[in-house]
A and B are shown apart, each in its own frame.
Chain A
């Protein structure tokens, strides 16, 4: 299977995590699982690598976090999207949709370039 290169992914994991949190508050493991499911295994990120991104989003105030007691009695950190995060997600989504359209149109186009116009009276 073709894997996404790290450079292609850089900077976009933030948007992916924001998109997952759009559905409602969630915690690290559930977010990683959801990301894996939605990407249908293409991403193959180390699950632990989402935490630096989550913490960065929290620093930027795009998400907020709260510790709550989980069903197993352990303390669990839940993340939720802030108004600022929702706005950032909307903007990133629009950008990505536009880029996807452009990429699809250009990459899927098989139209050949028109041949060079011949000058009147020119001979080869």
Chain B
């Protein structure tokens, strides 16, 4: 096989970055394609060199082909070029999950300061995207799950309890509902079951749930920067001309 062909395949495989077994299979498949193409071009009358050049040209940019062959949806997109494309592939879904989670979190946390935190959270996400854009799907799913849990707890504490308290109040004395609620409320320390008191305290600390979110963003961003650097070094070591 010609050196030009070898070099082309080497470059594709550098960008594909698959394990040894997978890389060997992908390489064999691409090699078969290129050799078959060269055979065809030669039967059309092209010289060997021209046929090789043409086959490589028609096969496409090694970076495009290689990145396409990289495993999909890694936790972090560490490609050294065209990083935004990885984000666009999963972005709308991830943004949707995070936005719904954020809105749900805000609604069930008495509004106020938590909405401010939510806006700051979305703003920081925007900043992170503009810096490097990595896959946020796992983070989004995790945050969506947290929000769903909080929504369920919110419904339990404000929905079911409210109906129960209202029903008891009506039975006690329909004309003194507020007084009745104060004395029989499931939330008052004297009458409330312990688990309901726990639930009641959750919304007041909802604003703090953004802090783990910020921390996870910072951790992911740091990891992204470290891995991007590592990827850059790996490519440079394998073929310095690729990063020049």
Given contacts A46-B64, A48-B60, A55-B69, contact A74 B26 (CB under 8 A): no
* In the assembled complex, B75 has its CB within 8 A of some CB on chain A: no
Total interface residues on A, CB under 8 Å, equals: 21
Q: Which of A45, A48, A70 contacts B30 (CB 8 A)?
A: A48
Interface string of A57-82 (1 = CB under 8 A from B): 00100000000001010111100000
Interface pair B37/A29, CB less than 8 Å apart: yes
Q: Which 4 A-B pairs have the closest CB atoms?
A: A46-B60, A52-B68, A48-B65, A48-B59
| A47 CA to B30 CA, complexed, in Å | 10
Interface pair B37/A49, CB less than 8 Å apart: no
Interface pair B59/A47, CB less than 8 Å apart: yes
| A74 CA to B65 CA, complexed, in Å | 22
| A51 CA to B59 CA, complexed, in Å | 10
* In the assembled complex, B233 has its CB within 8 A of some CB on chain A: no
Known contacts A46-B64, A72-B35, then 13 further A-B pairs from the complex at CB < 8 Å, ordered by chain A residue: A27-B32, A28-B29, A28-B33, A29-B36, A46-B59, A46-B60, A46-B65, A47-B59, A48-B30, A48-B33, A51-B30, A51-B68, A77-B29
* In the assembled complex, B58 has its CB within 8 A of some CB on chain A: yes
Report the contact-size class of chain B (Cβ under 8 Å from the partner): 20 to 34
Interface pair B58/A46, CB less than 8 Å apart: yes
Q: Which of B29, B37, B72 contacts A51 (CB 8 A)?
A: B29
Given contacts A47-B37, A47-B59, A52-B69, contact A29 B32 (CB under 8 A): yes
Name A's interface SS. Answer: helix
What residues of chain A lie closer than 8 Å to B14, measured between beta carbons?
none
A interface residues with partner B (beta carbon < 8 Å): 27-29, 32, 45-49, 51-53, 55-56, 59, 70, 72, 74-77
A-B contact pairs, 9 of them (CB 8 A): A28-B33, A29-B32, A29-B37, A47-B59, A48-B59, A51-B30, A56-B72, A70-B32, A72-B39
Given contacts A47-B58, A51-B65, contact A32 B72 (CB under 8 A): no
Interface pair B12/A48, CB less than 8 Å apart: yes
What residues of chain B lie closer than 8 Å to A52, measured between beta carbons?
65, 68-69
| A27 CA to B28 CA, complexed, in Å | 12
A89: min CB distance to chain B, Å: 22
A48: min CB distance to chain B, Å: 4
| A56 CA to B72 CA, complexed, in Å | 9
| A67 CA to B64 CA, complexed, in Å | 25
Interface pair B32/A28, CB less than 8 Å apart: yes
* In the assembled complex, B204 has its CB within 8 A of some CB on chain A: no
Interface pair B32/A46, CB less than 8 Å apart: no
| A47 CA to B28 CA, complexed, in Å | 15
Nearest-CB residue, chain B, relative to A76: B32
